[in-house]
Amino acid sequence: ASLTPAELHAMLHPHFPPTNEQHSENGTPSSTTVYELPNLTVRCQLLNELGKGLLEHHNGSALHMISKADRSADALIGILLDSFPGFRDYVDTKEWDAAATGAPSPISREWEYAKSSSSSVIHFYKRAQIATADIWAALGRGGSAAAAATTTTSNATAEKNERSRNCCRFEDADLITTFPDYRVPQILRHVRVMRYASELANSVDGKAELDGGGSDEVSIRA
């Protein structure tokens, strides 16, 4: 859980798209486009959080973590939120009142407070839901096909793989709601299911950046 951005870049660089060279009319290189992974520092931070969370809460094993959910997608979402800060995405609406009056925000950002303050905290479960849905799709729902494709594995390996797939066959996958992806409000607005107030519409159409966690941004996402 101590990966540096430089180390992450070195690990991923061989998998980056190839360098793209633009040539002038006489055939000599005129410019070069080198792919750079965006938000490298943030990605590195999240990977370190993942390793730290697994080590501290789940004996360093992702399979051990998933098995704690007892084949419940809903339970795994809660485990992800409790184990990894990077999966937590929430806003406390009491902070809007403090901002409106110019007073210092009295709200604690501690996770235990956020979980217990259901009346004022709005949670977005997109990150944890996508992770859970991907695990289910790759190892749970597709478990039978994956098992059929690994006929050459040893009995011990096949048994281990089957145990892994079994704990990912969530019995309540239908409880996962639609992820609050940024594409959803775009589409709903396009088909006139959602309508923005004129001031907000002007900001969005003018590609103005909305304040993260502000009432406009949260209202669109919610």
Specify the long-range contacts of residues 33-37, CB closer than 8 Å, at least 24 apart: 37/9, 37/12
Pair type for strands 121-123 and 90-92: antiparallel
| pLDDT, position 29 | 55
Answer yes or no: are the C-beta atoms of 189 and 196 closer than 8 Å. Answer: yes
d(CA 57, CA 54): 5
Residue 105 is classified by DSSP as: P
Of the candidates 218, 211, 123, 140, which has an alpha carbon nearest to the alpha carbon of residue 174?
140
Answer yes or no: are the C-beta atoms of 73 and 176 closer than 8 Å. Answer: yes
Of the candidates 128, 165, 167, which has an alpha carbon nearest to the alpha carbon of residue 150?
165
Strand partners, 31: 22
Cut 0.75: pTM above it: yes
Give the contacts of 20 (CB within 8 A, at least 6 positions apart): 32, 33
| pLDDT, position 182 | 79
| pLDDT, position 101 | 65
Residues lower than pLDDT 50 in the chain: 144-150
Answer yes or no: are the C-beta atoms of 158 and 130 closer than 8 Å. Answer: no
| pLDDT, position 98 | 65
| pLDDT, position 180 | 67
Tokens 């304040």 -> residue: 211
| pLDDT, position 145 | 47
Dump pLDDT digits (tens) for 64-85.
999 999 999 999 999 999 999 9
d(CA 117, CA 70): 27
| pLDDT, position 179 | 77
| pLDDT, position 21 | 55
Q: 3-class SS at 172?
A: coil
**Helices first, then strands: H and E counts in the chain:** 12, 4
Alpha carbon of residue 79 to chain centroid = 14
d(CA 73, CA 137): 12
